[in-house]
Structures are given as C-alpha cells and as structure tokens.
Amino acid sequence: MNNKPIMKRIVILSLGLLLGMQGLYAHEGMWMLNMLKKINEAEMKGLGLKLSAEDIYSINQSSVKDAIGRMNYGMCTVEMISAEGLTLTNHHCAYDAIQSHSSVENDYLTDGFWAMSKKEELPVEGMVISYLVRIDDVTTRVNDQLTTGMPEGERNAVIRKLSQEISQELSQDGKYDVDVKSFFGGNEFYAFTYITYKDVRLVGAPPSSIGKFGGDTDNWMWPRHTGDFSLLRVYADAEGNPADYSEDNVPYAPRHFLPISMNGVQDDDFAMILGFPGSTDRYLSSYGVKEALDIEQPTRVEIRGEKLRLMKEDMDADAAVRIKYASKYAGVSNYWKYFQGQSRGLKRLKVYDKKLKQENEFNAWVAKDPKRVETYGEATDLLKNGYLGSRPFVLPMTYVEEAAFGSEILTLAIRGYRLSLALQNPDDMNAIEGAKAILANRAEGHFKDYNLGTDKKVTARMFEMYSDNVAEIYHPQFLKDAKKKYKGDWTKYVDKMFEKSLFRSEATVNAFLAAPTLKQLEADPAFQAIKQIYFDLYTGTLAQEIGVYEEMMEKGYRLLIAGLREMNADKAYYPDANSTMRLTYGKVGDYVPADGMRYDFVTTTDGILEKEDPSNEEFIVPAKLKELIESKDFGDYANENGEMIVCFISNNDITGGNSGSPVLNGKGELIGLAFDGNWEAMSGDIAFEPELQRTISVDIRYVLFVIDKYAGAKNLIKEMQLVKAPKEPVPYLLPSIHTF
C-alpha cells in the first residue's frame, strides 16, 4: 500500500474527521500520540491495552515510539526488532532496494536475499530512516500572527515564515529534522522533531513468490497469503549518531525495540498500529467527491492502465527489462487498482449523498445563530464556488501528472532545469558545478533501470492520449507542432525527439556535462517539452488560473472544520493523515463483505497451495516452501492446532504510509506487519466504513518461519526477543519497556 499520488489541491485540503454523526467507533481514527492520555487511554485499556499512554509516547524515557521509524520521509513505516539495529518493514517497501542490487546473474527479486552475517549486508543508497523525538504544540504561536480577514496568500506566507523559524529553533543547528504541520484544515499546528539515520543496509528479503505472492490479482484483496516483509539494519557512528555510509559504522542501538509475541492472534484480540499514514481526505466535501468520481480517478485509471500494458509487454519479452522495470511497474499498478476500488466504493456506499447530508446539517446549524452566520456562513459557498471554478483545470493537470511524467526521458530532462538557470550566469561556477553534479548523479541512477525501447513506446502513447483528451487550449506548443508536422504519428515524432535529445543515454548526458552550454540545453527537444508542459503550463498558466479557486477551497474547509468542531463540542476528533506518526487501535476479527458471505480473520499456508499455479508468475510457490508446508515442518511457529497462520485482519484504521507498520498486542509486543487494506472498503481514505474496513497484516510467526525454516537465517532469529506467554495467566507488570 503505497502513498497515493494526490493533486496538490487535495493534499492541502486534508482535514479532520467528525466523530459525532454516528458515534465513536474504537477502531476509527488515526490518533496523535501526544493526545492519547487525554482522549484515548481509558478506552484503549477497556479494549485490552496493558500499557499506559506514557509507555507509548514519552519524551523523558524510552517508549514504544522510539522503535518506530519513518522511511524516506513518509514512504513507509519500519520498526526495530533487536538491540542491534535490526529493522522490519514490508517487502514492497524495500522493493527498490532489492531491485537495485538485482541483476540477471543475482536475481534477488526472484530468489530472495539473506545476509548470514553483518558483513554480507548490502548498503541501500538513498534510503533514510527517521525516529520521532518529540511533538510540540505551536498552535498559539502561529495563530497569534494570523487575523480573520487576512487573504489566504498572506496567511500562508506568515505560516511558512513562522514554520521556518520554529524549525530552525528546534533543529539544534541541524542535529534534528523538524517538520511543522497544519492540522484540522489549518486550525492547529504542531512541530515534529526527528533524528534521521542515513546508513541503512539490506539484510533479508524473501523471493517475490513469497513477498508478493498473489501479485496484482490479490492486491487490496482478502483472503491473502502474502509474506510481505523484508529486513534492514540501521547503522550509526561509534557514538550512535547519524552518519553517511562507512565501513566503520556500527549497528544502531535503539532506545527501544519491539519484543515479538509467539502467541498469535485470536478473534476479538486487541490490536494497535503505530506508523506514518500518508494522506486521507475524510472531510472531502460532496463537491470534492463528485470531482474525484467524474474526472480525476477515471483519468488516472485510464492512463495508468496504458502504462502498465506497455511496460508488461517488454517485461514479459526480456528478463533484464523485467528486473529493471519491476519496481516501476509495481508502483504504477498499486494505485491503478486502488483508484478503481475507491471509485467503486464511493458509489456503492453512496458517499456523495452522505457528504451532502452532512453539509446540509451544518448549514442548518449555522443559520440558527447570527454570530455563526458571520463566522462560518461562507464555508460551503466557498467550497462550491472553488470546485466549480477549478473544474476546467482538473483534467489537464491530471494529464500532466500522470501522462507527462509517464515519460522517463521527460522526468530526466526536468533535472536539467536547475542547470539551465545556473548557466544563465556563467561566472557562478559553484552553482554550475553543483547543478552538473545533481544531473550526473540522477542520470546514473536513471539509466541503471532504463530501457530505451520501453520509454519510447510509453512516451508516444502518453503524448497521444494527452493530445486526444485534453482541450487544445492546454496543449503546449511542442505538442501542437508535432501533431501538425507528423500528422498524428506519435511514434515517428518520439523517434525523432529521442534521436536529437541529449537525455537519451547516459553517454550523451555525460558528453554534454563535459562542456555544457545553455544554447544546447534549450535546443534539446525533451527539455523543451518538459519546460513547456510543466514549468510553463502546469506550474505557470494552470497554477495561476486555479490558484484563486484553491484559496477559496482552503478557506472553506478551514471554516467548515472549525464550525463542525464547535457544533459537536462534546465529541472527539482526530486529524487527517499527513505523514506524521499516528496510532490506531481496534480488534482482530472477521467481516461480512456481501450477503451470504463471511470472511474468517486468518489465513493459513493451506491457502498458498490452493492458489498455486505454476503457469502464473503471481501464484508460483517455491519448491522449498511447498515441501515445508506439505510436511507441516513449521517449527515453533505453528498455532495450537498445528497450522501455520499467514495473514490476519483487524479493524484498524490505516492508509498509504502505514505499509510496514507494526501491529502490536496490548502488551506492546509485535504480532504482525500491516501491508494492505480490503477491496470492499477502498473508499476508506474519504469515508471510513466501520462494518467493512479491515487492515491486512502478515502474521509475525509466518515471518519468523520464513526467516528460520525457509531461509535458514537463524542468526537473525537469535537477535530478536521472542516472548511466549505461560499457559497460566500471571499479573502483568507495567511498564513493559526495554531500554538499551
């Protein structure tokens, strides 16, 4: 479950969910850790939590939060599982890392990878893991500088300035990374302080036939039989501080790591998840839902479908291309299916009608009091006018995001823009050399996983779709010229563009960088194309035209949220996800997806053999795994009935960014890794459905079974703290926190 690509206007509208319409469900909500004591602790204890809020989040002592890491600033979540920096996350989160070390000769994607000693671990270039140090409420400081009648542009400028000041103050001269984030539609503000480690190494990964078992067919589906996990290790300098990769670095000793439960899960067990959910739109208005259903989602699905089709053709024909494009294909595919499921869910659950009903109730409440009318009266009108005014720009903006950036040559050419600016001042050699280095570094990584023929096919199709479906008023000049000159033969045009572009190969990029000139760069057809479609059109014309409507929506949502919180002052609220650490809690349990159907809360290895299909790459079962299953050689990891549990579901509330998040029992022990949601509740990022919403997790005992019995990596098992509860219950002593 990856962070979905959402347009900027939607991201800034991420708002808090009102929990007063139908009552509070224990499993609904992505709660801020510094609010647990005040809002959630009592209810969580009633459901089975044995820890205190202080055991989970503390700035004065080690706590559970210290074991939870943020990968690459919010891409995924990781967790510490040993005193030696051993870290667990999803297979799909480490997919780039696995792919980057794979080749036809050493195909770790197909065969898996296991380091039997720390010396065998592989450095992961570009991966960072950040740990939360503390959360500070800076709402008063920010709001004191804002006024009611302040224009949105001025308001945002003040917020940016204050955020920079706060970040600088809390960073301690660069020791920490600090993010100041807005919550509840821009009504509250919090500063998040992190320490970021840059030396991360790949330790273990099962073959894709385990880590991706079921592939696109099973993606977002239950029942599931996927061992979606991988292992990393975080390294630090001798003093435990962040450091660039070095052979002299040592495994990071965390303030806390997660003990691992060997007891498994039962129906109705308490379960909580900590992680970094990326983005939800739970307070998206009825106008926003309509826009998503009418324009944005079907457009993204259509474009991504074509990209997938063309990539798959070449991947099936060539093993080298398959390896190069494996990660790219997975990234496009994940949310291609997601958008289809979300549209289906929004329609089936009548979310538009529910949103409209909420807005009507809000307007009726506002109308009863002149002061409310003065304060909140324009909220829904601002939203209505903002969405109606911005509607003509949604399709071209979506096409730029999906189609223009579907072309790899254009995504590389955009890196030349900084160099073009530097070359305008030939006397500033520092700027020029810096821009050259950035482009050279980007080109090296770009061409490692690149196939010219595939990019040509995709680029031609993306240009064709843009030309056919976007109004000509939003066609960049290069597209108009190409259509006229080549009479709609996009393959012929793209062949010529690639032939003349310096961005077609690493050799031509490096030859240009040896003696770069502004004239050559500006004459390059790929650079001209991305400059016109992105800088001139997208961030220029379209951004300016839609800007006034975005400001209307931004203010409308801020007023709506503030008004709803006042209207239901006795109800608890949680803010929308925004890549900050959150906790969700609930229960393990089954669900009814449709009339006459009931899904159990666990799956077993029996289902792996039932799904096996040697002719389908998504359902191939490794011979050794099949042998272990058939002989029931599960070691200490089977349940009391001798079954090997693979996955389980719970009613926790997660989204993209939670991938890899630890699922914990009431004692704070690791019982699984969250990796997906279920198809029936794909509308969940906009509207949570308590009867349907489920989190799919891989059982930690299946993870241990694969590491131990399949891979034979007992060296890794020995690092972990495995906990087996006694048959007779004993008094539980708090806190269960381990400090190192």
> Given a cut of 80, is residue 269 above it in pLDDT?
yes
> Given a cut of 60, is residue 735 above it in pLDDT?
no
In a domain, 141, yes or no: no
278 with 290, same domain: the answer is no
The C-alpha atoms of residue 116 and residue 94 are separated, in whole angstroms, by 18
In a domain, 492, yes or no: yes
**Last-in-domain residue among 536, 563, 590:** 563
pLDDT digits (tens, 9 = 90+) for 360-407: 999 999 999 999 999 999 999 999 999 999 999 999 999 999 999 999
pLDDT digits (tens, 9 = 90+) for 323-371: 999 989 988 988 898 889 889 889 988 999 999 999 999 999 999 999 9
pTM: 0.88
Q: Quote the radius of gyration of the chain (alpha carbons, Å).
A: 26
Query: Residue 27's closest CA among 688, 698, 600?
Result: 688
Q: Which domain holds residue 390?
A: 286-563
Q: What is the per-residue pLDDT for 1?
A: 53
251 with 336, same domain: the answer is no
* Ramachandran angles phi, psi of 281, nearest 5°: -130, 50
**What is the H or E stretch that residue 550 is in?**
helix 543-567
Q: Pull the structure tokens for residue 342.
A: 């979300």
447 with 462, same domain: the answer is yes
582-587 and 270-275 strand pairing: antiparallel
Query: Residue 4's closest CA among 656, 578, 576?
Result: 656
What is the number of other CB atoms lying within 10 angstroms of the CB of residue 594?
9
Find the helix packing angle between 379-402 and 452-469, rounded to 10°: 140
* Ramachandran angles phi, psi of 599, nearest 5°: -100, 130
Of the listed ranges 53-62, 214-223, 574-583, the least confidently predicted one is 214-223
Does the bond joining 251 to the residue before it have cis omega, within 30 degrees of 0?
no
In a domain, 158, yes or no: no
Contact, 210 vs 703, CB < 8 A? no
What is the number of other CB atoms lying within 10 angstroms of the CB of residue 8?
12
349 with 274, same domain: the answer is no
Return all residues near 302 (Cβ < 8 A) that are at least 6 apart. 465
In a domain, 186, yes or no: no
In a domain, 519, yes or no: yes
Find the helix packing angle between 351-367 and 379-402, rounded to 10°: 150
What is the number of other CB atoms lying within 10 angstroms of the CB of residue 172?
10
Query: Residue 674's closest CA among 661, 656, 665?
Result: 661
Task: Give the chain's domain count.
Answer: 2
In a domain, 543, yes or no: yes
313 with 418, same domain: the answer is yes
In a domain, 376, yes or no: yes
409 with 377, same domain: the answer is yes
> Given a cut of 60, is residue 23 above it in pLDDT?
no
Does the bond joining 735 to the residue before it have cis omega, within 30 degrees of 0?
yes
pLDDT digits (tens, 9 = 90+) for 52-82: 999 999 999 999 999 999 999 999 999 999 9
Give 226-261 as a 3 state SS string: CCCCEEEEEEECCCCCCCCCCCCCEECCCCCCCCEE
Q: Pull the structure tokens for residue 687.
A: 């509207």
**Last-in-domain residue among 508, 539, 563:** 563
655 with 704, same domain: the answer is yes
**Last-in-domain residue among 499, 531, 563:** 563
List residues with catalytic annotation: 92, 228, 659
Query: Residue 73's closest CA among 178, 164, 203?
Result: 178
In a domain, 680, yes or no: yes
185: which DSSP letter? T
263: CATH: 2.40.10.120
Query: Residue 652's closest CA among 667, 673, 634, 633?
Result: 673
> Given a cut of 90, is residue 7 above it in pLDDT?
no
pLDDT digits (tens, 9 = 90+) for 143-174: 999 998 899 999 999 999 999 999 999 999 99
Q: What is the per-residue pLDDT for 371?
A: 97
410 with 548, same domain: the answer is yes
247 with 296, same domain: the answer is no
646 with 526, same domain: the answer is no
Strands annotated E in 633-669:
645-650, 662-664
Query: Residue 249's closest CA among 196, 199, 204?
Result: 199
Identify the residue whose tokens are 């398959």.
322
Task: Report the percent of the chain where pLDDT is more than 90.
Answer: 87
384 with 245, same domain: the answer is no
486 with 556, same domain: the answer is yes
Query: Residue 230's closest CA among 85, 94, 114?
Result: 94
Query: At CA 536, angle to CA 474 and CA 461, rounded to 5?
Result: 55
The C-alpha atoms of residue 604 and residue 646 are separated, in whole angstroms, by 5
What is the number of alpha carbons within 13 Å of residue 446 lying toward its C-beta? 24
pLDDT confidence band for 292 (50 / 70 / 90)? very high
